[in-house]
Each structure stands twice: as structure tokens, then as C-alpha cells.
Structure 1
Amino acid sequence: MAPQGDDAPVERGGKGYWRYLPFLVVLAGLAFGYAMGWHRFLSLGYLSESSGALLAMVADYPVAAPLLFFVVYVLATAFSFPAASVLTIFAGFLFGWLQGGLLVAFAATLGATFLFLAARSAFGDALRRRVSGPAARLADGFEENAFGYLLVLRLAPVFPFFVINIVPALFKVPLRSYVAATFIGILPGTFAYAWLGQGVGSVLDAARAAGEEPSVANLVTPEITLAFVFLAVVAAIPTIVRTVRGRLARK
């Protein structure tokens, strides 16, 4: 017999709390990783100190090493560790720009998708119903052309990677559009950073000789940044044209 009276709302509320579980797992995993100090391994400083041992491991385990790296990248992305750029440089350094770039493209997309699903399960519908005013119009535009909006955000690395993984979950972005825009949108940046990683050895040597901590800023040139911006502008043109046409048609 179905519960009645005061029992029914309690059951529905109890079931509702389960939607937060995936996102709570993400937060718990992130906190646990920092508590264990694993974030120290996701830095160019660690790569500089351990480059010889890492290259030897890749040479000794040509199949297991890429698989292990793939799993680490998926987990780091899914648990929102802010290390996408550094890990992509790792990939280029360890496996070369082509293999490293491909590993990162698939691993980043998979990890981002896990995080997107966790955030959408926990917050998507509830937050979307509470949005109003300009934010609601932005949400409507995002939902009407989710692929175009997300592609632009992926191409221009203005916001941290883990932020863009979560934000689309607050809107009604189809999973297929999210995966496609993520994979295509990160390809230019992924291969650019993997290419930088392929030649990062000289930068690490110079930093060690100067007694400095190597950083991503030492590698990224203004030309690369401008290239990302140009790609984002080009990708935004169809979305802008479609939006303007839609507004003119409604007048």
C-alpha cells in the first residue's frame, strides 16, 4: 500500500537527496586528493624533478604508461583538479604532441562528461527553474544553440577548464551537444599545449639552472593566446548571426 499523509513527502524528499550523491563524491574526491597532497604531482615543478624517471617508465611500459596517464587525466578532470594545462604539457613531453594530444582529447572529454552529468543530476533542473531576468535570457540562448555557445567557450580558454565543465549542467544542454562541443572545442588548445610539452625540456633545464619554479606562463606566448582568441571569434560568428536573425524575426 502506498504511503499516505505525512509519510509521502518524506519519501519523495529522501529520494530527492540521492541526486546530490555524484556531486558529493566529486567534492569528496577533490578534498581527499588535496589532503593526500596529490596536487603536488600535477605541476611543472614535479615534471622537472621527475622527468628522467617518467621518460624511463614510458620507455619500459609503452602500453601501460599511456593507459595509466589516460586514467589519471580522466580522474583529474572528473574530480575538478585545476591541472588541465599542466597535464596536457605532461602528455606532450612524455608521448609526443600527436599521441599525447589524442590521449588528452579523449580523456578530457570523458572526464568532463562525468563531471557534467554529476552536476546536472544535482543542480541542473533546480537552478534553471530559479533563473529569471537577463540570466534567463542568457540561459534560453544557451539552450537554443548549446553547441555553438559551448564551442566558443571551449575554444577560448578564458575560463578555467573545470568551470566550463560544470556551467552547461545548469542549463538544458543535451548530452550529445556537450560531448561534441567539448571534444571539438578542446582540440586546438590540446594540441597546442601538447606541442609546447614536446619541447618543454629546454624550459625545465633553464628553470633549474636559474633556480626558479617552472610555470605554464613560461611556455605560453602572446601569439598562442591571440590564436585561441581568433579561433573563438570565428566560431562565434554563426551563433551571433543566428541570434540576430532570431531577434529580427520576432520583431
Structure 2
Amino acid sequence: MTLFTQILRTNRRSAMLTLWMAVVPLTISSLITFYALSHENLIQQFGQFMWALFFIASCLTMALAITPTTFIALLSGYFLGITAAPFVIIAYILASYLGYQLTHVVDNGHFIQTIKALPGGRGEKALRFLDGIQHNQFGLIVMARISPVLPFAIMNVLLPIAGVRLKAFLLAGTVGMLPRTLLFIWLGSQAQELRSLIEEGRSDFTAQLMFVVLLAISVFGLLYYGKRILNKYVEH
């Protein structure tokens, strides 16, 4: 049995939670897309109460990986414009908090205990790597959140089980999420038709350039911290 298989088998609940958060958002967002396209005129008439319900519900759906965060940002931007930004950001923060707490309920420190219990000292390097993550957690979280391709919900699982603190998780996560959140809200606000926004993903050169820049920053940032952790905490 490989080390990975052994860890996976002894952390089935965390693995199932991660799988849920990878698969469910795609399915549910497709259903919401169908509804939004079919009832666009009705949604355009939503008042403050209905939008308040929408953002409250989005806190739960994003935390439980029922809807992708970028999807919420795009819809909010399309229907509300840039004025949606503070409401989306608050919803993201609350969703992050709920996701963090959910992971701790499901995992309850089991992943770390599994690493410690590995025989023959096989978990020693893994523990040192996790220790390095905890000592560099702010920068790592910012880089993980700023990436436009790393799923929000999966990071809600992987970062907490790695031992990052709640305060750093929320603060650094908010800092990292701001650029891509504003980007997708802006993309939504610039769309002329909901169908082209959701189904075709049309965007101009500026949006594509911003996407590439955010991706490059996150990739180089994660590589920097990964190398730093390996050199300082694992190889010595």
C-alpha cells in the first residue's frame, strides 16, 4: 500500500468532502444557469429583499460547494453591476468561515493525527512540510485565493486540514480573493447578454490579460513558497 493510499483510506470523510466540492458545483451551477436564462426578466425585477436572500443563500451554497464563487460573482455583476462588490465580498468571507468550520467538524484533526501515526518515520517529512505551511500560511493563502483556477471550496478543505489558523485563513483569503472577485464582477457588468456571459464566456482582451496576470502571480507565488518550505523545513 502506498503512502498516499494509506492516508486516503484513513481520511475518507475528508476525501469525500473534497470530491463533493469538486463535482457538485458544476452540476448545480448548470441548473441555476438554466433557470437564470429562462427567467432573466423576472430576476431583473428583484428588489432589495430578494437580493438579500440571494446573498444569504450564496453564503451557504458557496461554503457547501453547491455553487462556484466565480459564478456568483458573474451573476451579481451582470444584474447589479459593480455595486454588487461589497455584498459578494461579505458573502465570500462568511462562506470561507462556514467552509473552515465545516472542514474542522468533518476532519477534527484526523489528517494530522494520521500523518503522525505513519510507521517508520514516513510522516516526518510530511509533518515538517505542514509545519512550513503553517509558518508561511498568510502568503500561501493569498496565492491560493488569488488564483482564478484553484476552486474556492476545495481550498476550504485543504487549507484547514493543513493546519492554517482561522484568522489568517479569513484575512489572507479576503486579500487574495479581492482581485479575482472584482474581475468577475466587472466581467458580469460588461456583458450585454446573460447567455453570452454564462454559456460562451465572452470577454475582451483586458479581461483575458487580467486573468493571465492573476494566474501567473499565483503560480509563481505558490512555487516560491513551496520551494521555500522544502528548503527550510523539509530538506534540512
TM-score (norm 1): 0.69
Contact map agreement 2:137 2:164 (CA 8 A) in 1: yes
CA distance in structure 1 between the partners assigned to 2:201 and 2:190 by the alignment: 15
Out of 26, 32, 37, the residue aligned to residue 42 of structure 1 is 32
Query: Does 2:59 correspond to 1:74?
Result: yes
CA distance in structure 1 between the partners assigned to 2:229 and 2:30 by the alignment: 44
Out of 200, 211, 214, the residue aligned to residue 228 of structure 1 is 214
CA distance in structure 2 between the partners assigned to 1:138 and 1:215 by the alignment: 41
CA distance in structure 1 between the partners assigned to 2:57 and 2:108 by the alignment: 27
Query: Does 2:94 correspond to 1:103?
Result: no
Query: Does 2:130 correspond to 1:144?
Result: no
Distance 1:169 1:198, change over 3 A: same
CA distance in structure 2 between the partners assigned to 1:38 and 1:155 by the alignment: 24
Match of 1:17 in 2: none
Query: Does 2:111 correspond to 1:127?
Result: yes
Match of 1:196 in 2: 187
Task: Give the match's secondary structure for 2:66.
Answer: coil
CA distance in structure 1 between the partners assigned to 2:189 and 2:148 by the alignment: 20
AA at the equivalent of 2:152: F
Shift of 1:238: 7.8
Distance 1:92 1:241, change over 3 A: same
Contact map agreement 2:129 2:229 (CA 8 A) in 1: no
Task: Give the match's secondary structure for 2:192.
Answer: helix
* Identity within the alignment, %: 18
Contact map agreement 1:42 1:83 (CA 8 A) in 2: no
Contact map agreement 1:123 1:169 (CA 8 A) in 2: no
CA distance in structure 1 between the partners assigned to 2:230 and 2:107 by the alignment: 30
Contact map agreement 1:42 1:86 (CA 8 A) in 2: no
Larger Cα-atom Rg: 1
Q: Which runs of 5+ in 1 are unaligned?
A: 1-19, 208-212
- Number of residues paired by the alignment? 209
CA distance in structure 1 between the partners assigned to 2:164 and 2:215 by the alignment: 24
Task: Give the match's secondary structure for 2:39.
Answer: helix
Matches within 5 A, 1:143-162: 143-162=134-153
Match of 1:181 in 2: 172
Contact map agreement 2:187 2:203 (CA 8 A) in 1: yes
RMSD between aligned residues: 3.5
Contact map agreement 2:55 2:88 (CA 8 A) in 1: yes
Q: Which runs of 5+ in 2 are unaligned?
A: 1-12, 116-122
Match of 2:42 in 1: 53
AA at the equivalent of 1:114: L
Contact map agreement 2:146 2:177 (CA 8 A) in 1: yes
Shift of 1:124: 4.3
AA at the equivalent of 1:86: F
TM-score (norm 2): 0.73
Distance 1:202 1:82, change over 3 A: closer
Distance 1:222 1:38, change over 3 A: closer
CA distance in structure 2 between the partners assigned to 1:124 and 1:150 by the alignment: 20
Describe the superposition over 1:31-80 as per-residue Cα deviations: whole angstroms up to 9, x where unpaired: 9x99xx9655532x4333222111112xxx2x313311211210111221
Distance 1:214 1:77, change over 3 A: closer
CA distance in structure 2 between the partners assigned to 1:128 and 1:216 by the alignment: 42
Match of 2:77 in 1: 92
Distance 1:69 1:87, change over 3 A: same
AA at the equivalent of 1:75: L
Describe the superposition over 1:68-100 as per-residue Cα deviations: whole angstroms up to 9, x where unpaired: 121121011122114222111111012112x21
Shift of 1:104: 1.2
